[in-house]
């Protein structure tokens, strides 16, 4: 495919996204940017004017794509974030691009590496990654070669995946849990879930920052801070917590620094950063995903889990990681219940008959034209339409 055809494909996909955004009213990013900008306004008086301008520009630039630029009348985009071709793409999007020849695993992996350099290492300095995989591009080329030979392994074939920094990889990356004590620590073999991802054809893109030792280093530890990676920042409000301990996985996927990521959780370490950074996180039942090769805290609570921008992508990643591992007896008990494809259980009518609580008192106090309030009401209307019921 020549460059013109590829450009046309990208333009077509962007137009489709704009149309989808108009139909749904608010995209994921629009909804969150509205809330982030409100938060920035609330703290603006407490920071110096130059810093406030930088944060506001960052919030606007994140929302600059998808047909909505309400908060960016001056077109400010100091780090050229609107030029990222694969923003908000899903696994289905990249597989369609692979199949049509509009993109390759190498081109998408390279684009993510460039974006990581631009906004994780420089610019706003999100600090969501501990390191990138020096072998990411060769792995992507191998995935492309397998595709050309019709040796596709799974829906994750050629998809760039990020791993939390407490998960073993037998490669040139360290498994440090963010601690300087293990900054040069090399694993002798892959964690079982990593071997499953490699078998699925995924490209291991890098290791994400975390609350050091998965938030088990102190009773006064800080969410998203580690000795190796420094402070991870929330992409929607740089002075707000990204939550933890899977802070980097949450911030990186929210900031479009990878397609999907793996987090780990003992008590809230997946679901909290997922919610805080506006993505999807799943803490699976203990034993569904092997714990071997993950720096532990609690044998009765620890588990890895998927983090993604959509429920479908999280389900696809979950299925790729699940499996029986002789090194983790808990997976034997879960074995009969494991599925290869959890995405097939996604049901558009799944909310029908559900009872959902809504904090009306707080919502109703917002001004009628308030952007976060409008976004919240719009989403509630969508839930009502899907579920054919009245939220409480």
- Is there a catalytic annotation at residue 55? no
Q: Is residue 226 annotated as a catalytic residue, yes or no?
A: no
How far is the C-alpha of 370 from the C-alpha of 159, rounded, in Å?
A: 38
Q: How far is CA 281 from CA 214, 239, 243, in A?
A: 16, 22, 13
> Closest Cα to residue 245, out of 173, 181, 295, 315?
295
In this structure, are residues 62 and 78 in contact, taking their beta carbons and an 8 Å threshold? no
Point out the catalytic residue in the list 55, 164, 207, 283. 164
Q: Can you give the three-state secondary structure of 98-167, one letter per residue?
A: HHHCCCCHHHHHHHHHHHHHHHHHCCCCCCCEEEECCCHHHHHHHHHHHHHCCCCCCCCCCCEEEEECCE
Q: Which helix (H) or strand (E) holds 261?
A: strand 260-265
* Phi, psi for residue 262 in degrees, rounded to 5: -110, 130
Q: Closest Cα partner for 124 from 72, 79, 76?
A: 79
Chain-centroid distance of CA 77 in Å reads 22
Q: Which is the catalytic residue, given 245, 246, 247, 249?
A: 245
Give me the catalytic one of 61, 249, 269, 290: 269
Block residue for tokens 């054919």: 388
CA-based nearest residue to 290, from 250, 320, 259: 320
245 is catalytic: yes
Q: Which residues are catalytic?
A: 164, 245, 269
């Amino acid at each position: 495919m020549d460059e013109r055809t590829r450009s046309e494909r990208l333009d077509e996909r962007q137009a489709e996204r704009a149309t989808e955004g108009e139909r749904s009213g608010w995209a994921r990013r629009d909804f969150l940017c509205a809330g982030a900008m409100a938060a920035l306004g609330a703290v603006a008086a407490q920071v110096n004017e130059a810093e406030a301008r930088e944060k506001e520009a960052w919030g606007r630039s994140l929302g600059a794509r998808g047909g909505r630029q309400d908060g960016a009348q001056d077109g400010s985009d100091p780090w050229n974030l609107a030029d990222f071709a694969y923003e908000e793409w899903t696994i289905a999007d990249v597989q369609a691009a692979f199949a049509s020849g509009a993109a390759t695993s190498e081109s998408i992996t390279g684009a993510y590496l460039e974006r990581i350099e631009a906004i994780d290492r420089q610019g706003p300095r999100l600090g969501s990654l501990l390191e990138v995989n020096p072998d990411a591009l060769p792995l992507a080329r191998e995935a492309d070669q397998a595709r050309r030979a019709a040796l596709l392994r799974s829906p994750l074939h050629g998809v760039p995946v990020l791993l939390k920094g407490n998960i073993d990889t037998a490669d040139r990356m360290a498994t440090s849990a963010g601690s300087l004590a293990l900054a040069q620590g090399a694993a002798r073999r892959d964690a079982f879930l990593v071997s499953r991802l490699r078998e699925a054809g995924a490209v291991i893109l890098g290791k994400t920052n975390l609350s050091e030792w998965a938030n088990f280093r102190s009773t006064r530890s800080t969410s998203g801070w580690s000795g190796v990676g420094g402070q991870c920042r929330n992409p929607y409000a740089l002075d707000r917590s990204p939550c933890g301990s899977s802070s980097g996985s949450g911030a990186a996927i929210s900031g479009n620094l990878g397609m999907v990521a793996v987090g780990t959780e003992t008590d809230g370490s997946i679901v909290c950063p997922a919610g805080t950074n506006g993505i999807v996180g799943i803490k699976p039942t203990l034993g569904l995903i092997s714990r071997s090769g993950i720096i532990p805290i609690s044998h009765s609570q620890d588990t890895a889990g998927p983090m993604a921008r959509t429920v479908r992508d999280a389900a696809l990643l979950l299925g790729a990681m699940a499996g029986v591992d002789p090194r983790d007896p808990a997976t034997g008990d879960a074995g009969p219940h494991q599925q290869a494809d959890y995405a097939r259980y996604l049901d558009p009518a799944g909310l029908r008959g559900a009872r959902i609580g809504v904090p009306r008192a707080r919502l109703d106090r917002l001004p009628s034209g308030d952007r976060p309030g409008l976004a919240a009401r719009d989403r509630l209307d969508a839930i009502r339409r899907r579920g054919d019921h009245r939220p409480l």
